[in-house]
Amino acid sequence: MSFDHRKYQATPGVAISDRQWPNNSLTTAPIWCSVDLRDGNQALVEPMTVDQKLRMWDLLVKLGFKQIEVGFPSASQPDFDFVRALIDGNRIPEDVTIQVLTQAREELIARSYEAMDGAKKAIVHVYNSTSPVQRERVFGMDKEGIKAIGVQGARWVKEYAEKYPNTEWSFQYSPESFSSTEVEYATEVCDAVIAEWHDTGKPIIINLPATVECTTPNVFADQVEWFCRNVKHRQDIIVSLHTHNDRGCAIAAAELGVMAGADRIEGTLLGNGERTGNMDIVTMAMNLYSQGVDPELDLSQMDEIIAVAEHCTNIPLHPRHPYAGDLVFTAFSGSHQDAIRKCMSKQGDDEHWQVAYLPIDPADLGRTYEAVIRINSQSGKGGVTWVLENDYGLNLPRWMQIDASRKVQAAAEEISGEISPQQIWELFEENYLKPVDGCAMQNFALSQDNAENDGRDALKLIFDYQGKSVEITGQGEGAISALVNGWRDHYGDTVEILDYSEHALNSGTSSQAIAYVMLSVNNTRYIGVAAHRDVVSASMQAVINAAAQSQAEAESQRKAG
């Protein structure tokens, strides 16, 4: 086998020197048409069952699609039966138009109309292939012969519509493989089809498919703009696009194609479709949404969309899929987490969204902020701080953030994986809240005697240590100062308070306070944390938790020596 690029040639560009689409912007949503039930279904290893089709239909209606391609009823009995089920079951809302696809063959067109008999509004979508490779190698016909197929198909579509006068019909034509067809010839064929339908008074849709994506999106936009400039009766037709994702640019091609003059977009939810897939309507719609443009689809319950799509297609969604994937709003990087946390704290309800690394508010899609910050070995203090603050109500001082993040990062490195919020809390409890060697305060008495203590507070405190009761007494300016002085007197340690912080817990435990203290004991720093319904008790237990670490280390050294 060889990997030789010389086997291929570039797709020709379009002679258009004064293109206008680069100067245009997307300011309104296009007309959306879902093809999940036809193009998406025919691409599945296991096509949808009737129940799955009905579930997909209900979702598409709920999301706000007004045009839905429901099948290829002339080619498949299940598709025929499904179209009938929608009509006979009165499942089509008044403002929704169904669409069916058919080749330009009379018996298939007749069967399509039979399937849609009784529909209030329907689009008959007829197509034939126009590209050179299809003309020459598949059909063995010249340009006139291919054009004649399209024209004859348009005539049959018009004639059979007259047999079903109670339906509000629209006609649609696709020059299949438009993106691979000479743009002048594709326009010539479309003009001939439009001429057949122009005097019927029926809405006309000309759909320009990139059946196979064969070049860059800008060239496709040139093709669309050239067509819109040169097709006859442009003001009387709706120009539609149907892009595929062979080069990974279906969304970009559709967006640039709308900038080039197209009015309508066909695609599927989350991009399911043949080969690399169809144009992803969810992503394109959310791209509009992120720019302040109403997508005219309700995508607020993204998890429901994913659940239905996965159930009906049996295709799992990639965790990095734009907007919808499990990880798309997740930050593992420490610097990203810190920036998100800071921006979120400043984001106002009455201002435009301005949060670093989050192009949209995850809450708009029904996502919670719990999944935004996730912790692994790449995470920093911002992520750990976010989890402890949002999940457990802890407002850590900066020095506490640094120390806690180091411990969490070490644990993540040890397991070479992600640390859950529950695991972070367990690490916090083990390293800070759990009393060292059972060093837990039992009770205390705090009094003030101006005569004996020069106005200072006098403390008497009893705590358990290694199963024994220990009593400390001390004096100072406040309970913490008295405890530090009493500890120094009792153990002979040099103790200094370097920093202290406390606050009320606000995560369903507002009756409790939590205190953080950084001590220097014999010139070594220790951190202690404690929670209690009384802030003074929390503060003193935090001091004990920090100071007891020094005693534990000293005892360990004595045993080792």
CATH of the domain at 552: 3.30.160.270
- Residue 276 shares a structural domain with residue 355: no
Mean pLDDT of 527-553: 88
The reply to whether 13 falls in a domain is: no
Residues 276 and 366 in one domain: no
Rounded CA gap, 55 and 51, in Å?
A: 6
The span from the CA of 326 to the CA of 303, in Å, is: 9
Of 407, 430, 453, the residue at which a domain comes to its end is 430
Q: Is 319 in contact with 325 (CB distance < 8 Å)?
A: yes
Q: Who's near 168: CB < 8 A, 6+ residues apart?
A: 120, 121, 122
| Strands 97-103, 237-243: pairing kind | unpaired
Q: Do the Cβ atoms of 424 and 388 come closer than 8 Å?
A: yes
Asked whether residue 328 is domain-assigned, the answer is no
Give start and end residues of each alpha helix (H) in 130-182. 132-133, 143-161
Please give the angle made by the CA atoms of 329, 332 and 334, to the nearest 5 degrees. 120
Q: Mean pLDDT throughout 293-298?
A: 98
More confident residue, 103 or 452: 103
Longest dimension (CA), the chain: 115
Residue 386 in domain = yes
Pair (450, 401) in one structural domain: no
Cα-based angle 284, 126, 123 (whole degrees, multiple of 5): 65
Q: What percent of the chain shows pLDDT beyond 90?
A: 57
What lies within 8 Å, CB to CB, of 227 at 6+ separation is 183, 186, 187, 190, 208, 239, 261
Where is average pLDDT lowest: 79-88, 199-208, 299-308, 422-431? 422-431
Specify the pLDDT at position 383: 66
Is the pLDDT confidence value at 376 over 60? no
Residue 169 located in a structural domain? yes
Do 281 and 408 fall into the same domain?
no
3-state secondary structure of 350: coil
Instruction: Quickly tell me which residue has 């197509």 as its tokens.
Output: 127
Interval 502-523 mean pLDDT: 80
- Establish if 18 belongs to a structural domain: no
Please determine, for residue 377, whether its predicted confidence score (pLDDT) is greater than 50. Answer: no
d(CA 403, CA 11): 58
pTM: 0.73
The CA dihedral of 359, 330, 325, 256, to the nearest 10 degrees, is 20
The mean pLDDT value for 225-240 works out to 97
Amino acid at 355: V
DSSP class of residue 369? G
Q: What are the φ/ψ torsions at residue 100 (nearest 5 degrees)?
A: -125, 150
| pLDDT score recorded for residue 413 | 78
Does residue 1 fall inside a structural domain? no
Q: How do residues 146-191 score in pLDDT, each as one tens digit? A: 999 999 999 999 999 999 999 999 999 999 999 999 999 999 999 9
Q: Is residue 491 part of a domain?
A: yes
Q: Mean pLDDT, the chain, as a whole number?
A: 90
Which of 375, 397, 430 finishes a domain? 430
Give the pLDDT band (50/70/90) at residue 395: confident
Q: What is the pLDDT of residue 505?
A: 83
pLDDT score of 1: 62
Confidence of residue 5 (pLDDT cuts 50, 70, 90): confident
What's the start-to-end Cα distance of the chain, in Å?
70
Same domain membership, residue 458 and residue 374: no
With a CB cutoff of 8 Å and minimum separation 6, the contacts of 24 are 259, 260
Which of these, 347, 366, 367, lies nearest to 355 by C-alpha position?
Answer: 347
Stretch among 110-124, 402-416, 465-479, 505-519 having the lowest mean pLDDT: 505-519
pLDDT for residue 375 = 46
Residues 396 and 440 in one domain: no
pLDDT value for 265: 98
- Going by C-alpha positions, the residue among 162, 156, 161, 169 that lies closest to residue 203 is 169
Pair (176, 229) in one structural domain: yes
Q: Residues 246, 217: contact at Cβ < 8 Å?
A: no
The pLDDT tens digits of the residues spanning 6-49 come to 888 888 889 899 999 999 999 999 999 999 999 999 999 999 99
The lowest-confidence range among 65-69, 197-201, 245-249, 506-510 is 506-510
In terms of domains, do 366 and 455 share one?
Answer: no
The count of domains in the chain is: 3
**CATH code for position 282:** 3.20.20.70
Give the dihedral sign, CA 55/58/59/65: positive
- Give the model's pLDDT for residue 555: 77
For the beta sheet containing 513-521, the strands, ordered from the edge strand earlier in sequence to the opposite edge, are: 495-504, 513-521, 524-532
**What's the pLDDT score for residue 406?**
83
Neighbours of 342 (CB within 10 A): 13
Q: Is residue 361 part of a domain?
A: yes
Q: Are 458 and 391 within one domain?
A: no
pLDDT confidence band for 369 (50 / 70 / 90): low
Q: pLDDT digits over 447-498, tens only?
A: 876 556 566 788 888 888 877 888 888 888 888 888 989 988 888 888 888 8
Indicate if 440 and 544 belong to the same structural domain.
yes
- Both 124 and 213 in one domain: the answer is yes
Interior angle at CA 128, CA 127 and CA 134, nearest 5 = 150
Residue 557: the pLDDT is 77
Instruction: State residue 404's pLDDT score.
Output: 85
- 3-class state of residue 202 by DSSP: coil
Considering 393, 409, 430, which residue would you say is the last residue of a domain?
A: 430
Q: Which domain holds residue 523?
A: 436-560
Which segment of 69-78, 111-120, 431-440, 488-497 scores lowest on mean pLDDT? 431-440
Same domain, 381 and 271: no
